């Protein structure tokens, strides 16, 4: 898993040479966000090419770090895409689409987060494949509840409040993530 994690960091370095992963306490806007909402300190927040991670991030397992950074890396790629290859422009456009209106369904937030959470799930499946095992029912349920909480709850401002729709989305993405992880591992081992 360590090699897979390092490969991803190297790829990020090639695409975003000046990106940074910093504990939240060293990033002024993350400190400000944490003052506004204490619960945020357990999350990563990406702004441009800075990923502010929880302060105890470096104590996390490689698999946990990998999943988190893979999710945030997806947001960085989204920004680059919307800026036609130039991330500062993409940062503004992506941010505008992400935050434009706070009501669910009026922003692209849910769309962007679905892409990013798919990557979180791929990270989970890669870890399982490396370990040579299947997810336990508790792990699958934990992932599902995490998705439902984040999409249907206040944390991302009810970006997709339908639990039924999000449960369907979870199962199809869970399967898809498994297939993507198998392909990626095959390419890595070639
Ligand atoms: Zn996200």
Q: Which of 66, 65, 97, 67 is nearest to 79 (CA)?
A: 97
CA of 118 to the centre of ligand 1 (A): 10
Model confidence at 67: pLDDT above 80: yes
> Domain ranges in the chain?
1-99, 103-190
- Which of the pair, 117 or 156, is modelled with greater confidence? 117
CA of 190 to the centre of ligand 1 (A): 31
Q: Give residue 96's pLDDT band: very low, low, confident or very high (50, 70, 90).
A: low
CA of 66 to the centre of ligand 1 (A): 14
CA of 72 to the centre of ligand 1 (A): 6
CB neighbours (10 Å) of residue 78? 21
Q: How far is 115 from 122, CA to CA, in rounded Å?
A: 11
CA of 185 to the centre of ligand 1 (A): 24
Residue-averaged pLDDT of the chain: 88
pLDDT tens-place string over residues 147-189: 999 888 777 767 777 899 999 999 999 999 999 999 999 988 8
List CB-based neighbours of ion ligand 1 within 5 Å: 113, 116
Q: How far is 45 from 37, CA to CA, in rounded Å?
A: 13
Question: Are the C-beta atoms of residues 166 and 152 closer than 8 Å to each other?
Answer: yes
């Amino acid at each position: 898993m360590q090699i897979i994690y390092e490969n991803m960091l190297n790829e990020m370095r090639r695409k975003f040479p000046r990106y940074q992963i910093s504990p939240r306490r060293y990033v002024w806007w993350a400190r400000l966000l944490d003052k506004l909402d204490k619960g945020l300190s357990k999350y990563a927040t990406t702004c441009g090419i800075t990923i502010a991670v929880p302060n105890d991030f470096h104590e996390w397992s490689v698999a946990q770090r990998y999943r988190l950074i893979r999710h945030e890396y997806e947001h960085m790629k989204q920004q680059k895409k919307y800026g036609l290859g130039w991330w500062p422009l993409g940062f503004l456009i992506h941010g505008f689409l992400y935050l434009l209106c706070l009501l669910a369904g009026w922003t692209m937030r849910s769309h962007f987060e679905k892409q990013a959470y798919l990557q979180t799930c791929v990270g989970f499946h890669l870890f399982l494949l490396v370990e040579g095992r299947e997810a336990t029912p508790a792990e699958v349920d934990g992932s599902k509840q995490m998705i439902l909480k984040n999409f249907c709850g206040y944390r991302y401002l009810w970006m997709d409040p339908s639990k039924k729709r999000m449960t369907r989305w979870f199962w199809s993405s869970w399967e898809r993530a498994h297939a993507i992880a198998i392909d990626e591992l095959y390419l890595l081992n070639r």
